[in-house]
Amino acid sequence: MFPRRGAGVGDGTGTAAGAVQQELVAVLDRLGVGVFALDGDERIVWANTASLALLSRSAAEVVGRRLGALLHPDAGQIPSPRAAGAGPEATDVAPEGRTWLARGDGSRLPVRWFPLPVESGAGNGARLVAFDTDAYAPGTGDPGRDTDRHGPRPRPAGSPPARRALSERDRLALLADTTAQLVYNIDVDASLRRVVELLLPRLADWAVIDLITETDEVDRSLVVHAHPDGLTVREDLQGPMPPVPASSPMPLSMALRGVASTLAGPRTYDAPPDSAVAVEQRKLFTATGIETAAIAPVKGPSEVLGAITLGRTADHEPFTPADLDLLEDIGRRMGIALENARHYQRQRRIAATMQRYLLPQLPRLTGVEMTARYLPAPDASHVGGDWYDAFPLPDGDTALVVGDVVGHDLEAAAGMAQLRNMLRAYTWAEDGPPHRTVERLDQAMGHITDVSMATLILARLTADPAGGRALSWTNAGHPPPLLLDPTGATRFLGEGRAILLGAAADHARSDAHIRLPPGSTLLFYTDGLIESRRQPLDVGLRRLREHAAALNHRQLDDFVDQLLEHSRPADNDDVALLALRIPPTA
């Protein structure tokens, strides 16, 4: 998590998450309190400049040691920062306390220390512990304060929200919480709402977020009011905004151009408005009763994405220039996260569009029903290389394919296109058994495509003179096809299986053969239908078999749609599915 600045590990650069972490490190290193970053074993992996100065130690004397090793011999142990958040859903923080740390010369340094809260779902990075010199060492007085807790507390019903200048610790905690909410989330709306929940009512009565869309239009995306009963989204104040004026000196216009952060109030808009944006701001102040506002840009690494406004009513102290510094820090974090989210959404749209154009029209076969589906992943990072294919062969047989290029995003989708076209060409030209075609594909794949590994099934469907159809196939590391007979009995076709493409090009492969009787249904699919982070593969296969057996009486299109609805895990990646049915004889 923390880059090397004389003390630390990794650098995290080159990604939006890395940029957020670099910015966070810069803030931590400027603090006047000591800060340690601890790994999962409570080992110090980074220490800021203030911590080294307080301890009169070098980075080499601190980094790599366990936190407990820095305690003075007369001090008690510091409870683990994870202690109060041990459960998987815990969001509380461990109690703050007082102890003695050992300076480089062995003398006692009395400190007040406190872990900084990081939400449990924010990833597996380092945890932060901050400390400062303290007049109360253990055993020297005020012992009851050793058990104080910090962090937000529930307010009694009907009590007004507190508005006060944040301490250094509170500011750092807020930035850490904001980063945790943003950096791992590509859902823009959810991210913005979570950030607003951190800011209200801690800092303001109102929060307003204006975003610049990818078509350079401005949208008032979120307006939230904090009151004694909680938070209310004011949808009546949200909606499209006028264009941003090119040279207006008014606060919101400057923020939306990324020029400056500004304090504002109703009197800012007493003069005749210079633009339609100023008119909308006057309406906002009138509707909300905001008396003082802090407005800052939401700026990413390469573009301005909007502005954030915090507003206080007359019941509270006005904002000061010091508040703008904090809001600018939050705006930068929001900008990096939003730019990252837009990048993934663009990538997802491109990949999904490419896949839709590449997926084929199914051939019409006499005596065979056939249907297919492709569903993109709900998570943009999982859009990738799943595909199906079906096409006629020179001798009248039909080739059937389902495959999955290893990897995700646009690169996998492009690799899928290369592999699909190669397989089509080889299958048509070879006009031989499936395993021979796949062996040739495997030998050529590493030389003329960008695909490193892939799984697939290539099958050949042949008319059976006795009625029904015959199927021969070879399986390169792919989930087995599922066959349902006319009675609904199910069987996974595990024969003909060999290793995936790209693992060993000289690996021998073989074909398997089966007769598909009238009334049977055959299902090819990719692993997105059966596999997820929350369930093992065998559970997914069992669920697929059970649901398929229960749905086998339905028409083929309905059968496929219902199977996707009931069998596909909710958190999974994209799915390609190809199904065919041999109609029963009259």
Contact call for residues 395 and 431 (beta carbons, < 8 A): yes
Whether 133 shows a pLDDT value over 50: the answer reads yes
Residue 116 has pLDDT above 60, yes or no: yes
Query: Cα–Cα distance between 237 and 289 in angstroms, integer?
Result: 13
DSSP for residue 384: E
Cα(98)–Cα(139) distance, integer angstroms: 10
pLDDT of residue 134: 60
Six-digit token string for 158: 């009907």
Amino acid at 188: V
Q: In 119-187, which residue ranges form alpha helices assigned H by DSSP? A: 168-183
Better pLDDT: 163 or 192: 192
pLDDT per residue as tens digits for the range 185-243 = 667 777 788 888 888 888 899 999 999 988 889 999 999 999 888 899 999 999 999 99
Q: For position 175, what pLDDT does the model report?
A: 73
In which band, very low, low, confident or very high, does the pLDDT at 53 lie, cut at 50, 70 and 90? confident
115: enclosing H helix or E strand: strand 108-116
Place of tokens 């090119």: 246
> Can you give the pTM of this predicted structure?
0.50
∠ CA 533-13-322, rounded to 5°: 105
pLDDT of residue 49: 85
Q: Partners of 398 in the beta sheet?
A: 392, 461
Pick the range with the lowest mean pLDDT from 23-27, 284-288, 517-521, 534-538. Answer: 23-27
Mean pLDDT of 21-42: 79
Residue with tokens 């309406």: 283
Architecture per CATH, domain 16-147, reads as 2-Layer Sandwich (3.30)
Classified by CATH at the fold level, domain 360-581 comes out as Phosphatase 2c; domain 1 (3.60.40)
Give the range among 163-167, 226-230, 513-517 with minimum mean pLDDT: 163-167
- Residue 14 has a CB neighbour count (10 Å cut-off) of 8
Give residue 150's Cα distance to chain centre. 29
pLDDT of the residue at 158: 43
302-337 confidence digits (pLDDT tens): 889 999 999 999 888 888 888 888 899 888 888 888
Does position 118 have pLDDT exceeding 60, yes or no?
no
pLDDT digits (tens, 9 = 90+) for 344-399: 777 767 766 666 666 778 998 888 999 999 887 765 445 568 889 999 999 899 99
Please give the structure tokens belonging to residue 297.
Answer: 């840009």
pLDDT of residue 410: 67
Helix (H, G, I), strand (E, B) or coil at 459: strand
Angle at 507 between CA 504 and CA 512, to 5 degrees: 130
pLDDT of residue 383: 56
Token pair 């690169």 is found at 411
β partners of residue 373: 577
Maximum CA extent, the chain: 97
Q: How confident is the model at residue 512 (pLDDT cuts 50, 70, 90)?
A: very high
Across 7-11, 100-104, 281-285, 378-382, least confident range: 7-11
CA distance readout (Å), 6 to 62, 102, 145: 11, 21, 35
Residue type, 149: R
Angle between helices 321-358 and 168-183 (to 10 degrees): 10
Beta bridge partners of 209: 222, 308
Q: What is the residue extent of each domain of the chain?
A: 16-147, 168-347, 360-581
Which strand (E) or helix (H) includes residue 469?
A: strand 469-476
pLDDT at position 144: 31
| Listed residue (38, 32, 103, 114) closest to 78, CA to CA | 114
pLDDT band at 114 (very low <50, low <70, confident <90, very high): confident
Task: Give a three-class secondary structure readout of 262-297.
Answer: EEECHHHHCCCCCCHHHHHHHHHHHHHCCCEEEEEE
> Mapped to the 3 state alphabet, what secondary structure does 473-511 carry?
EEEECCCCCEEECCCCCEEECCCCEECCECCCCCCCCCC
pLDDT at position 152 is 34
Query: Do the domains spanning 16-147 and 168-347 agree at the CATH topology level?
Result: yes
| Mean pLDDT across 92-103 | 65
**Summary mean pLDDT of the chain:** 80
Q: Which two tokens stand for residue 522?
A: 């055959």
State pLDDT tens for residues 388-437.
999 999 989 999 999 999 876 667 777 888 899 999 999 999 878 999 99
Q: What is the model's pLDDT at position 185? A: 60
Supply the pLDDT for residue 526.
Answer: 93
Indicate the CATH number for domain 168-347: 3.30.450.40
The phi and psi torsions of 108 (rounded to 5 degrees) equal -85, 135
